[in-house]
Amino acid sequence: MIVRPAQHWFTRLFAWHGSVMSKIYSRLLLNLLLSLILLGVYSWYESLHVKITLAPFSLLGIAIAIFLGFRNSASWARYCEARQLWGSLLINCRSLMREVITLFPNDAHYQQSLKNDLLAFCYCLNYQLRHKPVAAVLQRFIELPVATFVNTQQTPCNRLLLIMGEKVAEARRSGRISDILYQNLNAHLNQLSGILGGCERIANTPVPFAYSLILHRTVYAFCTLLPFALINQIHVFTPLVSVFISYTFISLDTLAEELEEPFGTEANDLALDAICNTIEIELCQMAGDSHCPAKMYPDKQHRLT
């Protein structure tokens, strides 16, 4: 995810990092090449008496723009919901850690145990959503036998919630906290479970493939046939106009695909590593740890100071 200071409008015109140009420039070059070839054989093309007017492209272009708008809105809604879920994760980790510290002020071991379980949950959720192995990150926060067992589960994050729930329940059974305080702590665990379910729903339920496929095919068919309609109207300016229009449609289609999966590792996806790093720093500071990790910034190439 890119977070950077505001740029001058002229500088932003040439921004490459974070744009989709790195993905689509080869497709634009193909469109440019097609336009140049068509321009070179224009005399032969004209002799065929095949004239494609701009009228159908005007109507189709409006329709594509509308559907691309809906597609990007749907992808943006998924992105915003994912960000809200991870924002709620940060809030619940803070709240749960605060209550544990205030309820068990003289039990540093219990505080550290819940803190490590929370951090293991956050990083495990990050790795699970990105389809990365979680064994190493589990061993970083919890004991090896427990980490090995959790790693064998189909949903390691859910098992971590159960482990935290058992520790809270044990505090209730031993009389260290009352029923009301137990309910407060358990409510935070339930909210973490809801966050886990929400993230899994977004990750496992993409935009219907048929909808994306139809729009994708239509965009590329439009961009491929566009030079044949422009050549009769603007002639030598066909490559320039064709590439510009193709850039608009293809970039919007590519951006929608990127935002559709907010938990990925693309430049515009959520900065899950940075969010986990923020949670770890705050929980360590709340627990009074002497060693906290260094601050991680979402955009490595444009760090904020």
Domain boundary assignment for the chain: 52-286
Q: Read off the pLDDT of each residue in 43-67 and give the average, rounded to a whole number.
A: 86
What pLDDT shows up at residue 45? 80
Asked if residue 36 has pLDDT above 60, the reply is yes
- Cβ 140 vs Cβ 301: under 8 Å: no
Q: Alpha-carbon distance 149 to 209, whole Å?
A: 36
pLDDT bin (cut points 50, 70, 90) of residue 302 is very low
Residue with tokens 């990092």: 17
Q: Read off the pLDDT of each residue in 162-189 and give the average, rounded to a whole number.
A: 95
| The two three-digit tokens of residue 142, written as one number | 């919890």
What pLDDT shows up at residue 181? 93
What pLDDT shows up at residue 68? 92
Of the candidate ranges 36-50, 62-76, 116-130, the one whose mean pLDDT is the lowest:
36-50
What pLDDT shows up at residue 209? 87
Asked if residue 285 has pLDDT above 70, the reply is yes
What pLDDT shows up at residue 290? 80
For residue 242, the tally of other CB atoms under 10 A from its CB is 26
Q: Using DSSP, state whether 52 is helix, strand or coil.
A: coil
Asked if residue 49 has pLDDT above 70, the reply is yes
What pLDDT shows up at residue 299? 66
What pLDDT shows up at residue 305? 30
What pLDDT shows up at residue 167? 95
In this structure, what DSSP letter does residue 142 have?
S
Q: Read off the pLDDT of each residue in 170-184 and give the average, rounded to a whole number.
A: 94
Inter-CA distances, 46 with 35, 39, 43, Å = 15, 11, 5
pLDDT tens digit sequence for 237-260: 999 999 999 999 999 999 999 899
pLDDT bin (cut points 50, 70, 90) of residue 10 is low
